[in-house]
Amino acid sequence: MSKIAAIQMTSSASVIENLASAADFIQRAAQQGAKVAVLPEMFPLFGLNPEDKLAVSEPFGKGLIQDSLAELALQHKIWIIGGTIPLQSSLPHKIAAACLVYDHTGKVVGRYDKMHLFDVTINANESYQESAHIEPGNEVVLIDSPVGKIGLAVCYDIRFPELFRKLFNQGAEIFAIPAAFTTTTGKAHWEVLARSRAIENFCYVVGACQTGLHQNGRQTYGHSLIVNPWGTVLTSLADTTGIITADIDLTELKKIRRNIPVDQHQKIDIP
């Protein structure tokens, strides 16, 4: 068995402050024996305005945020799933919300751009339009890691089970989901969605979340969690910053899949 960690943050409008916080949490995760650490969505910047992401966006492969994660991975000999990082996109007025994966040498071994964008109206006073500033991705991404095969998703993606079934069919054993759920939708749906994605596919789910009141006035739900393939929440963290860890037991996962072989019983083809 190998240990994985989910990091919960209350990111600010300062990239420098957020990188310092992430560095501390990653060091602590490594000290606790984690082989992989998952950062939350928007960990390097929770801006005062959506446009702030453009000002700090980086070209893929270089920049303060990417260099910092590479150095931390190498320093602590830990894999890092980097939440979402604002990368320059093909459109000058938009960024890519990119989840980059660094191995223990600091090398990028995976990139997933958030596919499903949060264009929703929660109520009369709360609405979001991510597509105004983010260019969506279109590729499903699975990586081999020291803890198993990890499928990548981000926040709103969790509402689209076909993405996770496609990852399952490609061999996923773990889903890593950086998130920044609203308080309203988080209370109602976050845990049940995470457990559902775990149960449907007999996969671990690792959700790393933003929490608390941010400088722009937005409140995020928190409640990072790690769910096992049977749908049991192994560990969770309510509404404070911190780290949770759990062991990934692939032997138990394979036993569950042998006993209930949903992969063999599928009737709708999602290649």
List, by residue number, the catalytic residues: 41, 114, 155
Which residues 6+ apart lie within 8 Å of 72 measured at CB?
22, 23, 26, 27, 78, 80, 102
Q: Are 55 and 168 in contact (CB under 8 A)?
A: no
**Token pair for residue 97?**
């919300």
Residues facing residue 144 across a β-bridge: 149
84, burial (CB in 10 Å: exposed 0-12, middle 13-18, buried 19+): buried
Secondary structure tally for the chain: helices H, strands E? 8, 17
CA atoms within 13 A on the CB side of 77: 3
How far apart CA 176 and CA 246 sit, in angstroms, is 13
DSSP, collapsed to helix, strand or coil, labels residue 56 as helix
* Closest to 21 (Cα-Cα) out of 253, 249, 243: 243
Q: How far apart are CA 16 and CA 57, in angstroms?
A: 14
Q: Partners of 103 in the beta sheet? A: none
- What is the rounded CA–CA span in Å between residue 241 and residue 10? 7
Return d(Cα 227, Cα 215) in angstroms, integer: 30
Coil, helix or strand at residue 199: helix
